[in-house]
Amino acid sequence: MKQKKLTILIATYNGELYIKEQLDSILNQSFKDYKIICQDDKSTDNTFFILRKYQKKYPNIITVVQNIKRLGIVASFEKLIENSDTEYISLCDQDDIWQRDKLLISIELLERVANKETPLLFHSDLTMVDSDLNRLHSSFFKKRGYSFPQERKLDIMLGRSGIMGNTMVFNKKLKDAILPFPKSLVVHDYWIALVNEIIGKRITYNHPLINYRLHEKNGSLTLRKESQNSFFKRNIILPYQNIEREEVLKELLSRILLEREDKIIIQSFIDYLQFKNKIKIFFFLFKYDFFRNGFIYKLKLIGAILWKKSRKSF
């Protein structure tokens, strides 16, 4: 059998409400040269049963496995990526809806890059919808104040990033560079985007290719609520802190050969995470693009920095 060009990786856990719609949107893609691997993380609902039904119906396309014990989202995706063997890899959530040309556009733009020996990462904008697919915001990028210059921009990836894993398509060269994941990693797409920004080429597509469903069980939505509610509380949590990024960046420094300027930028972000010197923090606020754009956001951030006394108050 001819080797497929792309593998779609889906890590599931108690996703019975939306997994059918997600799978149907993938099976309806205009680009057909793919296979799907679904890895269930010991769901306690009917998710695994639904996946097995799809596997039986599409045995040449869909493979379904189940973890022996719960691994969590990061370790599940790491295992999926390790076991993939195609030229390209696409990460997929269990509750979104893909537009019909999502994969076609992704692969066409990746294939335009002349040097195939370079790590490559494609990502796109998303349309934000509620649980019933009613539109909440037409652009995730605009709603969150994200912008991505075509040129390399390490400070953006260190801080706000904004590259969503469910839009990612990347090549085998990047796969080899990102594995293994750091043991302290909390968000896998952060690591993938960061490594690619240092050693690879990023392709940003500023149009939505996914209906990104926000609902009560959505992990990203939960994190976002926590971040928004943390400003101006007595026990302030500044952006990107308390999510183990410092340990991840230390491992990055030890694993990848970096240019001097890159080391300076990474160390500056580590200094922000350690929050030892407010003057330095304010300097970083205006020198680097670690933080989201927007006047109100920056004003809140300044207030949070002024309010915070030290790292000990976390």
Give the residues of the chain that fall short of pLDDT 50: 221-235, 311-314
Amino acid at 309: K
pLDDT, one tens digit per residue, over 234-273 is 445 688 887 789 999 999 999 999 999 999 999 999 999 9
Q: What is the pLDDT of residues 274-294, one digit of tens each?
A: 988 888 888 998 899 998 877
Distance of alpha carbon 71 from alpha carbon 92, whole angstroms: 17
Q: Residues with Cβ < 8 Å from 64, sequence gap 6 or more?
A: 37, 38, 39, 40, 48, 51, 52, 54, 55
For the record, the structure tokens of 123 come out as 């990502």
Please, which residues have CB within 8 angstroms of residue 278's CB and are 6 or more apart in sequence? Answer: 305, 306
pLDDT reported for residue 226:
36
Report the alpha-carbon distance of residue 20 to residue 7 in Å, rounded.
18
Check residue 227 and give its pLDDT. 42
pTM: predicted TM-score of the whole model, two decimal places:
0.91
Q: How far apart are CA 280 and CA 259, in angstroms?
A: 22
- Kindly list the structural domains of the chain, giving each domain's residue range(s) and its CATH number in brackets, ordered by start: 6-213 (3.90.550.10), 230-313 (no CATH)
What pLDDT score does 202 carry?
97
